[in-house]
Amino acid sequence: MEELIKKAGILIEALPYIQRLYGKTVVIKYGGAAMTDQVLKASVMEDITLLKYIGVNPVVVHGGGPDINKTLEQLDITPQFHDGLRITDAQTMEVAQMVLIGKTNKEIVALINKAGGKAIGVSGIDGNLIEAEQYKTDINGKQSDIGYVGNIKRINSKVLEIIAKDEYIPVVAPIGIGDDGHSYNINADTVAGEIASALKAEKLMLLTDVEGIKPSKSADNIAPVLTAAEVYDLIENGIIDGGMIPKVLGCIKALDSGVSRTHILDGRIPHCILLEIFTDRGIGTMITKGSV
């Protein structure tokens, strides 16, 4: 009986959060260890499916870096990166598109369906969901491109709104389409932030392979909350670097566009999405526009 009462207590604790999120959109960027560990895969799919069944509208944006790297290595191509972004020549672009759309996206759709959800996989090419242009970056003081890497011009959110209507869960592969007809590889964290902005989502949640963001290099614990100004300071001081930069910038862009809360979560924790949304303590680092 005590065990049953504890379970009832967990549900009661979750009730105000369920009420607050009912009918709202939550954008989840799925990546890292949660995409490779079978137990973590199952827990994420269960979390996403449960959200849909209790009246929340999850939209999933996925990465696929490990799968892309594995395929490139099989083709004797060495993966290269600049500031956390993949350098993408024509051959790498073909591989990225094949892996992200043809393999990773469909695997996630199948896993959600297996968990009892109804997922539909799309890429940014479908319905011009993600309109992109070539991304330019500073390399050795010179404005340069790093291949078929995209900068998002526009998100046609109506595509996702139509899919998410009723019982469906959109699963988005981060490939955009340019006016020139070329496909562009886009960082999945950036795509998640832009989609959350376009949908005016209640929450943006980025699954990572770290506990959260530390306030300094010597800190033992993560910061539970950081403001946008504090994030910029951490980037300038080199504490936030590499692949974490597009994550936090995606969060800030989403906040500037009306998203209420953004979160950096440890995807290595089973059911991390439910723990963040439906418990009083939460996990990871929340990024806000200002002090809370």
86 annotated binding-site participant: yes
Instruction: Name the CA radius of gyration of the chain, rounded.
Output: 19
Look up residue 146 and give its two tokens.
């790093």
Per-residue burial over 208-226, b if 16 or more Cβ lie within 10 Å, else e, is bebbbbbbeeeeeebbeeb
Superfamily the domain 25-288 falls into = Acetylglutamate kinase-like (3.40.1160.10)
Q: Which of 100, 83, 33 is nearest to 244 (CA)?
A: 83
Asked if pLDDT for residue 1 goes beyond 70, the answer is no
What's the pTM value of the predicted model, to 2 decimals?
0.90
- For residue range 205-215, list pLDDT tens digits in order: 999 988 899 98
Q: Which CA distances in Å does 159 have to 120, 125, 203?
A: 12, 11, 19
pLDDT grade for 4, boundaries at 50, 70 and 90: low
Asked if pLDDT for residue 138 goes beyond 80, the answer is no
Average pLDDT, the chain: 89
Q: Which CA distances in Å does 84 have to 54, 80, 246?
A: 36, 10, 7
65 annotated binding-site participant: yes
Q: Which of 220, 223, 214 is nearest to 241 (CA)?
A: 214
**Predicted pLDDT of residue 16:** 82
Per-residue pLDDT averaged across 7-36, rounded? 85
64 annotated binding-site participant: yes
Q: What are phi and psi of 222, to 5 degrees?
A: -80, 160
- For residue range 12-21, list pLDDT tens digits in order: 788 888 888 8
Look up residue 193 and give its two tokens.
């932030």
Distance CA 265, CA 205 (A): 7
Q: In the sheet that 119-123 helps form, which strands lie side by side, from edge to edge?
A: 119-123, 169-173, 57-62, 25-30, 203-208, 261-266, 285-288, 225-227
* Domain boundaries of the chain, sorted by first residue: 25-288
